[in-house]
A and B are shown apart, each in its own frame.
Chain A
Amino acid sequence: MTDDAHADAGWFEGVGPDDPEAGAARIREGRADAPADWPEQAVESGFADDETDYYAKLHDAAVRASREAAAEREQAGDQQLVHAIRAMDDLDAQANELAERVAEWAGSRYPDAGTGIEYARELAGRDPASPVEERLVSLARRVADLADESDALRAFVERETPEVAPNLSALAGPILAARLISLAGGLDALSKQPAGTVQVLGAEDSLFAHLKGHASSPKHGVIFTHEYVRGTRPEKRGSAARTLSGKLAIAARVDYYSGDRKPELDAELRKRIDRIRGVETDHDNEGSDGDEGSDGDEGGAGE
């Protein structure tokens, strides 16, 4: 039904005249080297009675194919990222915990024992010389395997996130973008969050402490890992976090509702952050210290 033998055949080749399901599958998976006069060929081959009948059949199959393919692709992308980033975090946590155990155990045997995952990797490469070493080196190998799997997941997330959320990924970096999607529960859910919520995603503990009345409100959640926040001096970080989260919220909406890449978002964000940091830019010499960009678009820096 979907083999390459049909590389010069229309989508209806081998499809029964009253089988829109098979037609939809061929539309989704088939290919051809070049277009041809498909309506005429379909009538000649008996697939359709006439041109009108052909277009009616094509319409049924194309609507069905696109609806199914869109639903599958929407499912696929963001939820797979959510699983991948959570699995990556689990692996890191487990690998670090076991690496501590390895370091503690190794310290009891070798005066030059190191710590951390790098040391576990080093140990994993040794030939064990005793039954105890056999266990210790074997444990170190598990740590190295977990760390390898985490690296592979990170590479996967870095590759996939730009496909699922091109603008969010460009603004936040693929890993942070995937974390935001994960914390919100999906791109759909993230696209419905106001900027203020995006700003504190991942800071739920401090947020609830604040709401109970015994802490100040958190300035940022996971977006703290972004260079635009972390690289801004502390007294300006709140502004930077607010501006960044505003643009991230917009990027998530663009990704969810249109999917088009809008490079102008990157440039606007850069400019606003420069202004907050008091850096003069080529396009803009109003960047005096303390000016927070009162041109706040939806969810931006307005206060």
Chain B
Amino acid sequence: MTPDLPDGVERRTFDGRERLATRGDPVYGEPTDEGWRVWDAGRSKLGAMVELGLDTGLAGGETALYLGAASGTTVSHVADFGGPTYAVEFAPRPVRDLVGVAEDRPNLFPLLKDARKPETYAHVVESDVDLLVQDVATRGQARVAVRNREFLADDGRLLAAIKARSEDVTRDPDDVFADALADLEESYEVLETERLEPYHDDHLGVVARPL
């Protein structure tokens, strides 16, 4: 059975297909309908996790820290259904787009920071956030989540997308995922995992809560 969608996320029909949608200004030319815009699971790992029915624990209105926000495609949807949303991205070019997305969203705070160095943004991001999203696609993805554990409330949720090919292209994805989960278990209890196919190849979606 599929968990309930968080408040602020609905399945709506676009061009005859039922798709996830949130309410907000369009960001990347996605289809819109009466103020709702498509949350494309093929472009968003978090969207794929919700679409595939992982029990994300999302209820809507969460204070969120999003690591690896890139151009802001996914984090814009998080800000649509969430509360204060901190978006960390380290590459300058996508941050230019992220700033554009944040300008129209008063609850979205863009930060040009390195997610591997939480001390460089701990003076901005508040403690006890409800949701930590790990979407940084560099080697050591699980360790990034571990290092950012300090921001998460004890009853909060980590939603992580582990990309096998960011760790090692030559290894079997299953081995890479096993290692990443072992790293995560230093500071999290893993509640659920699922491969994100067909939306994203060689990605593992992970739901975890802090130990």
Pair B138/A260 contact, Cβ less than 8 Å? yes
State in angstroms the CA–CA spacing of A266 and B166 once bound together: 12
* Total contacts A-B at CB 8 Å: 122
Which residues of chain A come closer than 8 Å to B13, judged between CB atoms?
Answer: none
* Closest partner residue, chain B, to A268 (CB atom): B169
B45-83 to A contact mask, C-beta < 8 Å, 1/0: 000000000000000000000000011000000000000
Residues from 241 to 298 in A contacting B, C-beta threshold 8 Å: 256-264, 266-267
The answer for the CA separation of A62 and B72 in the assembled complex, in Å, is: 15
A267 (CB) vs chain B CBs: closest residue: B169
Q: Mark B95-107, 1 if CB is under 8 A from A, else 0.
A: 1101100110011
Chain B interface residue count, CB cutoff 8 Å, equals 40
Complex interface: chain B residues within 8 A of A39 (CB):
126
Closest to B71 in A: A258
Could you say which of A9, A26, A66 contacts B111, with CB atoms under 8 Å apart? A66
For A259, list chain B residues within 8 Å (CB): 90-94
Q: Which residue of B lies closest to A187 (CB)?
A: B93
Contact of A260 with B137 in the complex, beta carbons under 8 Å: yes
Scan residues 143-165 of chain B and give those whose CB is less than 8 A from a CB of chain A: 150-151, 165
Q: Nearest B residue to A40 by beta-carbon distance?
A: B126
- Cβ-neighbour of B122 out of A35, A37, A69 (below 8 A): A35
Let me know if A63 is at the binding interface, CB within 8 A: yes
Question: Is the CB–CB distance between A63 and B122 below 8 Å?
Answer: no
Spot the interface stretch: A52-60, A104-112, A221-229, A232-240. Answer: A52-60
Are B123 and A73 in contact, CB atoms less than 8 angstroms apart? no
Binding site for B on A (CB under 8 A): 6, 9-11, 26-28, 30-39, 55-56, 58-59, 62-63, 65-67, 69-71, 73-74, 77, 256-264, 266-267
B-side interface residues toward A, CB under 8 Å?
A: 70-71, 84, 90-96, 98-99, 102-103, 106-112, 119-120, 122-128, 137-139, 150-151, 165-166, 168-170
16 contacts between A and B (CB under 8 A): A35-B125, A37-B127, A37-B128, A38-B127, A39-B126, A59-B106, A62-B102, A63-B102, A63-B110, A67-B96, A70-B96, A256-B93, A258-B70, A261-B137, A261-B166, A267-B169
The 4 lowest CB-CB distance pairs between A and B, nearest first, are A259-B91, A32-B123, A73-B92, A35-B127
